């Protein structure tokens, strides 16, 4: 192009220099080289995550399913959880246990009410970040002396609602604590799966006929309408998706897909895939996604509930038409009716292990 020898090399060098100058001017117009390198690094990271995140999420899901399935099949885990919540109820008459978190080596009891700063007897201790979470080592439950200050009318009826967001602790609720209705609502698929998982656990743990699944819960189960189901003799728990328009018979408990009338414990399936228990501390976020498969794997090996007669612990006045407490906000009692605003206070996450 430019002749031979040195002239050609000078021509090529000039073209290269012009190209570099043009590139430099374009980069300066877009923010400079540092910004360009940050953008390139960000795009490379995003591309890597696009491949890595689905694989990591799948592995995390399988690990959590295996953890929950192992816990659900373990009689020792259920026994430790029930003993812990029973012992915690005997520590003081001012705090009411309503749930348990079970880790590999220790058990935490979630309580409502009480005095947050009051000392706990050894071997109990309060969580460093939440005084309403009481920890005890599972090894300390063997031979634990109980001095009963308050009698629980029945053994706790625990159901698993998922795993905490660290993946190392299962979360269980006592369905006999608090109001007679549990309302599960929010993201439709997650809420329905949660109700189905609770129904499966109850159906196996309670005597035959104690659980009535109404129409609208399972596609393959055309059950009774909810008003008919709550009138069936012998039913202790009714699971339904309709809005109940008749009073809930005294002693009967309701698991509602959707917010039921009156006072109820609220479980909200959030769009981010977690489950929130209203009335509990704000750090308590549950991953419910592995629960359905874990229950399916373990449902035949769940321990029967140690009950003393029918579950008739509710006061006679507790009907679904008790609407006076609809004005209640979300308080420290662990029980609330639906409200427009969440009045809970932010807390750091507990010290799970």
Q: Are 84 and 158 in contact (CB under 8 A)?
A: no
Q: Which two tokens stand for residue 142?
A: 């063997």
Q: pLDDT tens digit string along 24-43?
A: 788 777 777 788 788 888 88
Higher pLDDT, 101 or 45: 101
HSE at residue 338, side-chain half, CA atoms within 13 A, is: 14
What per-residue string of b and e applies to 175-190 under the rule 16 or more CB within 10 Å gives b?
Answer: bbbbbbbbbbbbbeeb
> Residues 287, 159, 137, CA angle at the centre, nearest 5°?
80
Cβ atoms of residues 321 and 261 within 8 Å? yes
Q: Count structural domains, the chain.
A: 1
Whether residue 143 lies inside any domain: the answer is yes
- Helices (H), strands (E): how many in the chain? 6, 13
What is residue 121's predicted lDDT score, i.e. its pLDDT? 86
CB 256 within 8 A of CB 241: yes
User: Is there a contact between 102 and 137 (Cβ–Cβ < 8 Å)?
Assistant: no
SS (H, E, C) 279-300: CCCCCCEEECCCHHHHHHHHHH
pLDDT of 321 over the 60 cut: no
CA distance 145 to 345: 35
pLDDT digit string, tens, across residues 232-287: 888 999 999 988 887 888 889 999 999 988 888 999 999 999 999 987 777 788 99
Does residue 237 form part of some domain?
yes
Does 311 fall in a domain? yes
Does 32 reside within a domain? no
Residue 257 makes CB contacts below 8 A (sequence gap 6+) with 184, 185, 191, 192, 195, 216, 217, 239, 240, 241
The predicted pLDDT at position 173 comes to 95
Supply the DSSP symbol for 327.
G
Domain-located, residue 332: no
Q: Read off the pLDDT of residues 58-97 as tens digits, 9 standing for 90 and up.
A: 999 999 999 999 999 999 999 999 999 988 888 876 788 9
Q: What is the mean pLDDT of the chain?
A: 80
pLDDT digit string (tens) for 130-164? 888 999 999 898 877 655 444 555 678 999 999 99
Identify the DSSP state of 333. Answer: T
In a domain, 23, yes or no: no
pLDDT confidence bin for 340, thresholds 50/70/90: very low
What domain range includes position 269?
68-327
Whether residue 54 lies inside any domain: the answer is no
Whole-angstrom CA distances from 129 to 74, 75, 132, 342, 344 are 29, 30, 9, 20, 15
Half-sphere exposure of 208 (CA within 13 A, CB side): 0
Q: List, for residues 89-130, the tens digit of each pLDDT value.
A: 888 767 889 999 999 899 999 998 776 677 888 889 988 888
Contact present, 335 and 179 (Cβ < 8 Å): yes
Strand pairing class (253-257; 170-174): unpaired
**Residue 252 counted as domain residue:** yes
Contacting residues for 190 by C-beta, under 8 A, at least 6 apart: 269, 273, 275, 288, 289
pLDDT in tens, 157-183: 999 999 998 888 999 999 998 889 999
Task: Measure Cα distances from 353 to 1, 102, 167, 173, 262 in Å.
Answer: 73, 10, 10, 19, 37
- Do the beta carbons of residue 115 and residue 134 sit within 8 Å? no
Please write the tens of the pLDDT for every residue from 288-305.
999 999 999 998 899 888
pLDDT at residue number 217: 92
Q: What angle do CA 262, 287, 226 make, to 5 degrees?
A: 35
């Amino acid at each position: 192009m430019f002749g031979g020898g040195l002239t050609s090399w000078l021509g090529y060098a000039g073209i290269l220099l012009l190209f570099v100058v043009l590139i430099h001017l374009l980069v300066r117009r877009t923010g400079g080289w540092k910004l360009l390198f940050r953008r390139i690094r960000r795009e490379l990271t995003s591309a890597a995550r696009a491949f890595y995140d689905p694989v990591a999420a799948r592995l995390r899901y399988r690990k959590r399913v295996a953890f929950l399935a192992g816990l659900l099949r373990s009689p020792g885990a259920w026994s430790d959880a029930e003993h812990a919540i029973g012992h915690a109820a005997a520590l003081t008459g001012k705090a009411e246990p309503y749930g348990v978190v079970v880790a590999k080596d220790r058990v935490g009891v979630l309580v409502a009410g009480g005095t947050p700063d009051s000392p706990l007897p050894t071997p109990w201790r309060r969580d460093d970040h939440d005084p309403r979470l009481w920890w005890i080592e599972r090894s300390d439950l063997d031979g634990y002396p109980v001095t009963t200050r308050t009698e629980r009318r029945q053994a706790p009826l625990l159901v698993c609602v998922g795993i905490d967001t660290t993946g190392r602790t299962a979360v269980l609720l006592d369905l006999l604590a608090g109001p007679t209705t549990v309302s599960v609502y929010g993201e439709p698929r997650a809420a329905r799966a949660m109700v189905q998982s609770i129904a499966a656990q109850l159906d196996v743990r309670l005597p035959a006929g104690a659980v009535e699944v109404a129409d609208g819960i399972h596609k393959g189960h055309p059950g009774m309408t909810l008003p008919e189901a709550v009138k069936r003799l012998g039913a202790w728990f009714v699971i339904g998706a309709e809005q109940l328009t008749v009073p809930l018979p005294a002693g009967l408990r309701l698991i509602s897909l959707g917010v039921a009338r009156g006072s109820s414990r609220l479980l909200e399936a959030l769009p981010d895939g977690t489950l929130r228990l209203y009335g509990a501390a704000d750090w308590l976020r549950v991953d419910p996604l592995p629960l359905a498969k874990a229950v399916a794997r373990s449902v035949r090996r769940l321990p029967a509930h140690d009950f003393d007669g029918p579950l008739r612990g509710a006061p006679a006045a507790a009907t679904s038409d008790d609407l006076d407490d609809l004005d209640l906000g979300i308080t420290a009692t662990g029980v609330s009716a639906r409200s427009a605003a969440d009045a809970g206070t932010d807390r750091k996450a507990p010290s799970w292990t």
